[in-house]
C-alpha cells in the first residue's frame, strides 16, 4: 500500500491544522456505514516559475459544494476559505506537486435521516503519475455506471466509487490496466476514475454529459481543443464504434491525459506520438504548470492537426 502520511503529516480538519495521526473520526458515521459522503480529487503543481498552484481550485471546490448539496449534506464552507486552507496544508507539508483530497463526511448517525452538520478534512500527499506513462490496455467492463435514475451521478459521492472499484479490480484481475464502463443503455461512459475521448479521422469524440461524472479535466481538454483548433463532438457512442477509432485516451485530475494501446484485444492503429491525444497530453502539462500555450512546443504530432475549416471542407 502506498504511504499517504507519516507522523509529521498535517491535515486540515474542521477548521484546524492537526496531525494526521491524531485526527479522530467517529466510527458511528453515516459516511463510513452507508457511503453518503462527497469528496474531490485536486492537483497542485510546481509551475514553470517555481510557484505552487492548485489547478482549477475554484471549479473543484464548487463541485464539492454541488456534490454535497446533491447528497442533502449540510455545507457551510466558502471556496475561497477552503482554497486558502488547502494552500496552507500544502505549505505545512512542504509539498508542491501534490494530490489533494478534500472529504465531506457526516456525523454519527445510523439512521437515514438528514444531518444538521457535516465534517471536512483536507488531506494532501506527494503525487507522481497515477496510471503511469505507458499506454493502457483497457477492458470493456461487464460493469455499467450507476443509473442516473437511482444515483445523482453528477455528484462525486463516496458510495459511487464501489462501482469504480468493482470495475477496476475486475479489469486488473483479467490482466488489463483499466476498465471502460458503459452506461445503463450500453453506450460508452467513462473509466472508474477518468473520462475518455477517442480520435477518428482527425476529430475527437467524447461521451455527452448525463451518465458520467462531469470531469474538470474533460472540460479543460475541450477548452484546449478550442484553442488548438481541434474539433470535438460529444455524443453517444458504442463499443463497436470505439473499436474503429484511430486512438483513444483517458483524462482526469490524477490520470492527466493518458493514451490507450488497445480496447479488449483491438489495438488502436495510430501511433500515440502522432495522435491528437499526445498533443493534448503536452498541452495539458503545459497548462497545469502555467507554461504558455505554444503550438510549436507540442511535438511532431501537431503536424497532424486539422483546422476546423479543413474538417468542415472535407465533410
Q: Is 163 one of the binding residues for ligand PMP (CB under 6 A)?
A: no
CB of 215 to ligand PMP, least distance (A): 3
User: Based on CB atoms, which residue is closest to ligand PMP, 115 or 206?
Assistant: 206
Q: Is 252 one of the binding residues for ligand PMP (CB under 6 A)?
A: yes
Q: Is 41 one of the binding residues for ligand PMP (CB under 6 A)?
A: yes
CB of 217 to ligand PMP, least distance (A): 3
User: Based on CB atoms, which residue is closest to ligand PMP, 106 or 193?
Assistant: 193
Of 111-119, 167-175, 215-223, 303-311: span binding ligand PMP (CB under 6 A): 215-223
Between CA 177 and CA 200, with CA 262 as vertex, the angle to 5 degrees is 135
- What pairing do the DSSP bridges indicate for beta strands 136-144 and 119-126? unpaired
CB of 136 to ligand PMP, least distance (A): 15
Q: Is 102 one of the binding residues for ligand PMP (CB under 6 A)?
A: no
Q: Which of 123, 190, 199, 256 binds ligand PMP (CB under 6 A)?
A: 190
User: Based on CB atoms, which residue is closest to ligand PMP, 37 or 215?
Assistant: 215
User: Based on CB atoms, which residue is closest to ligand PMP, 109 or 163?
Assistant: 163
Residues that bind ligand PMP (rule: CB under 6 A) add up to a total of 13
Whether 116 contacts 141, CB under 8 Å: no
Q: Is 37 one of the binding residues for ligand PMP (CB under 6 A)?
A: no
User: Based on CB atoms, which residue is closest to ligand PMP, 115 or 160?
Assistant: 160
Q: Is 193 one of the binding residues for ligand PMP (CB under 6 A)?
A: yes
Nearest to 191 by CA among 222, 167, 160: 167
CB of 190 to ligand PMP, least distance (A): 5
Of 126-134, 200-208, 212-220, 258-266: span binding ligand PMP (CB under 6 A): 212-220
Q: Which of 217, 231, 282, 302 binds ligand PMP (CB under 6 A)?
A: 217
Residues with catalytic annotation?
156
Of 19-27, 117-125, 191-199, 263-271: span binding ligand PMP (CB under 6 A): 191-199
- Rounded alpha-carbon distances, angstroms, from residue 292 to 49, 50, 53, 71, 257: 12, 14, 15, 38, 18
CB of 306 to ligand PMP, least distance (A): 25
Q: Is 216 one of the binding residues for ligand PMP (CB under 6 A)?
A: yes
User: Based on CB atoms, which residue is closest to ligand PMP, 148 or 202?
Assistant: 148
Three-class HEC string of the chain: CCCCCCCCCEEEECCEEEECCCCCCCCCEHHHHHCCCEECCEEEEECCCCCEEECCHHHHHHHHHHHHHHCCCCCCCCHHHHHHHHHHHHHHCCCCCEEEEEEEECCECCCCCCCCCCEEEEEEEECCCCCCCCCEEEEEEEEECCCCCCCCCCCCEHHHHHHHHHHHHHHHHCCCCEEEEECCCCCEEECCCCEEEEEECCEEEEECCCCCCCCHHHHHHHHHHHHHCCCEEEECCCHHHHHCCCEEEEEECCCEEEEEEEECCEECCCCHHHCHHHHHHHHHHHHHCCCCCCHHHCCHHHHHCCCHHHHHHHC
User: Based on CB atoms, which residue is closest to ligand PMP, 217 or 275?
Assistant: 217
Residue that has been written with the C-alpha cell 474542521 in this structure: 14
Site of interaction with ligand PMP (CB under 6 A): 41, 164, 190, 193-195, 213, 215-218, 252-253
Amino acid at each position: 500500500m502506498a504511504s499517504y502520511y507519516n507522523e509529521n503529516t498535517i491535515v486540515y480538519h474542521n477548521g484546524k491544522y492537526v496531525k494526521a495521526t491524531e485526527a479522530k473520526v467517529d466510527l458511528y458515521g453515516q459516511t463510513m456505514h452507508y457511503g453518503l459522503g462527497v469528496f474531490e480529487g485536486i492537483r497542485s503543481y510546481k509551475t514553470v516559475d517555481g510557484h505552487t498552484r492548485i489547478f482549477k481550485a475554484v471549479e473543484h471546490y464548487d463541485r464539492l459544494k454541488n456534490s454535497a448539496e446533491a447528497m442533502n449534506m449540510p455545507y457551510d464552507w466558502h471556496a475561497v476559505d477552503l482554497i486558502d486552507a488547502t494552500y496552507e496544508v500544502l505549505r505545512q507539508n512542504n509539498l508542491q506537486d501534490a494530490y489533494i483530497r478534500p472529504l465531506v463526511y457526516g456525523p454519527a448517525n445510523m439512521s437515514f435521516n438528514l444531518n444538521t452538520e457535516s465534517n471536512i478534512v483536507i488531506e494532501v500527499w506527494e503525487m507522481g503519475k497515477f496510471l503511469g506513462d505507458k499506454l493502457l490496455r483497457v477492458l470493456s467492463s461487464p460493469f455499467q455506471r450507476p443509473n442516473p435514475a437511482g444515483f445523482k451521478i453528477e455528484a462525486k459521492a463516496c458510495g459511487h466509487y464501489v462501482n469504480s472499484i468493482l470495475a477496476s479490480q475486475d479489469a486488473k484481475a483479467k490482466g488489463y490496466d483499466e476498465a471502460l464502463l458503459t452506461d445503463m443503455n450500453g453506450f460508452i461512459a467513462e473509466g472508474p476514475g477518468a473520462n475518455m475521448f477517442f480520435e477518428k479521422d482527425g476529430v475527437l469524440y467524447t461521451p455527452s454529459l448525463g451518465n458520467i461524472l462531469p470531469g474538470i479535466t474533460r472540460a479543460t481538454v475541450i477548452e484546449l481543443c478550442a484553442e488548438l483548433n481541434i474539433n470535438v463532438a460529444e455524443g453517444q457512442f458504442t463499443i463497436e464504434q470505439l473499436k474503429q477509432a484511430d486512438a483513444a485516451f483517458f483524462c482526469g485530475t490524477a490520470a492527466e491525459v493518458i493514451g490507450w494501446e488497445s480496447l479488449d484485444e483491438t489495438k488502436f492503429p495510430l501511433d500515440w506520438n502522432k495522435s491528437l491525444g499526445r498533443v493534448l497530453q503536452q498541452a495539458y502539462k503545459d497548462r497545469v504548470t502555467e507554461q504558455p500555450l505554444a503550438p510549436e512546443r507540442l511535438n511532431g504530432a501537431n503536424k497532424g492537426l486539422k483546422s476546423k475549416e479543413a474538417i468542415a471542407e472535407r465533410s
